[in-house]
Amino acid sequence: MRTAWIALSAVALWGCAPRAEMPAPAPAPAAQDEARLCQVGAAVLFWSQEERLRNFPAMEKIFPGNTVRAGGKVRPLPDGAPLPLAEAEVDAFMKAQSVAGLIVLQDGKVRLERYALGYSREGRWTSFSVAKSVTSTLVGAAIRDGYIKSLDEPVTKYIPDLAGAGYDGVTIKQLLTMTSGVKWNEDYTDPNSDVARMFAEAVPAGQDPTVAYMRKLPRVEQPGAKFVYKTGETNLIGVLVRRATGRKLADYLSEKVWRRYGMERDAFWMTDQSGAEVSGCCLSVSLRDYARIGQLTLDGGKGIVPEGWFADATRTHATFPGGGYGYQWWTLPGGFYAAQGIFGQVILVDPATRLVMVASSAWPKATDTDMRNARLAFALKVLDAAKK
């Protein structure tokens, strides 16, 4: 499951690979943004712990992005009975995992809420790949609104520039479940991998950089046959939603989720060098609003997504050794599902107990098996305590 927690390549995400073959762009705001992205984005995976603690709650001060506006009506999160967990045990978990924010909801009530490392209820923290699960929710919203007719439609209906390439015959559902059958190399240590080269090549005028690269990739499996984690395909989902709706992702998310469900604070969505939201990454959201995202899935999303959307999105559609994948949600043994991002970001949901646990963290490594297992062990203690 190594790629499950490696949410991005700074090179691929922000287009910072060497571009010796490309002419220098004329000075412009977009070019200035790209320069900032290259200078800072390429270092994200290698920030010191001090830099992570300083920057994870302040990404909007470093990168360009769009605001996801909240509305005036906030969905309340009333206090519930405190979880019967020893305070020392919670403190030890947060310290060991460099957790800045931890919240547990059960039946929509707050049973545990803690902050550390200078973070607070008024702050925001970056999501990394937790954003993928949010992007998939916008697909559901677009279906409900009639912009997208069905998950069984071909991707090329909405992104016709992919026609005649490896994505011929691939459905939206297969894109969501990363089972397109299109060849992809997600090895972040290989400079020749797709994830490293994705934005390193010249883009023909008028073409979307994601689409321009993805249309070059060959088909190696039958669509639907095999799960292969592809950051590029999540970016394609963002392209698809933007084209189907004619809206910026931040604006559509504001209308369909942030305002309608009652999020408490504005969110920030980082944009790439073309000015489009990075649909597979990099929302900055408050701790309580992350919890509301989890609660939204339990509540069913009435008026936001079609009936039954979240039940379908969070069940296993594709499997691999050790786990499963839904519509940009990870499915875990025991009936849990999760949105996950590197450096310890997680929204874990247990439908059986109607429990949501969110951790916003700054792990010392992007991925760490021991820390992931320790977090799961703590989550199981939380679940056990919630049943008492």
What does the pLDDT look like over 356-384, one tens digit per residue? 999 999 999 888 999 999 999 999 999 99
Q: In the predicted model, what is the mean pLDDT of residues 71-83? A: 96
Query: What pLDDT is attached to residue 25?
Result: 30
DSSP state, 3? G
CA–CA gap between residue 101 and residue 244 (Å, rounded): 36
SS3 of residue 378 by DSSP: helix
Stated pTM of the model: 0.88
323-325 and 125-126 strand pairing: unpaired
Q: In the predicted model, what is the mean pLDDT of residues 197-216? A: 82
Q: Going along the chain, which residue ranges are E strands?
A: 65-68, 99-106, 109-115, 125-126, 267-270, 283-285, 318-320, 323-325, 330-332, 336-341, 345-350, 355-361
Q: How far is CA 193 from the centre of its chain?
A: 21
Query: What pLDDT is attached to residue 203?
Result: 74
Report yes or no: 142 and 135 within 8 Å, Cβ to Cβ.
Answer: no
Query: What pLDDT is attached to residue 43?
Result: 61
What is the layout of strands, in order, in the sheet containing 323-325? 109-115, 99-106, 355-361, 345-350, 336-341, 330-332, 323-325, 318-320
**What are the φ/ψ torsions at residue 285 (nearest 5 degrees)?**
-135, 150
- Of 202 and 86, more confident: 86
Sorted by where each starts, the structural domains of the chain and their CATH numbers stand as: 2-17+24-386 (3.40.710.10)
Put residue 126 in one of left, alpha, beta given phi > 0 → left and psi -120 to 50 → alpha: beta
Query: What pLDDT is attached to residue 189?
Result: 63
pLDDT in tens, 14-37: 333 322 222 233 333 344 544 444
Strand partners of residue 345: 341
pLDDT in tens, 48-60: 999 999 999 999 9
- Written as six digits, the tokens of 322 are 């050790």
Report yes or no: 217 and 183 within 8 Å, Cβ to Cβ.
Answer: yes
Query: What pLDDT is attached to residue 195?
Result: 75
Query: What pLDDT is attached to residue 133?
Result: 98
Q: Cα 11–279–328 angle (5° rounding)?
A: 110
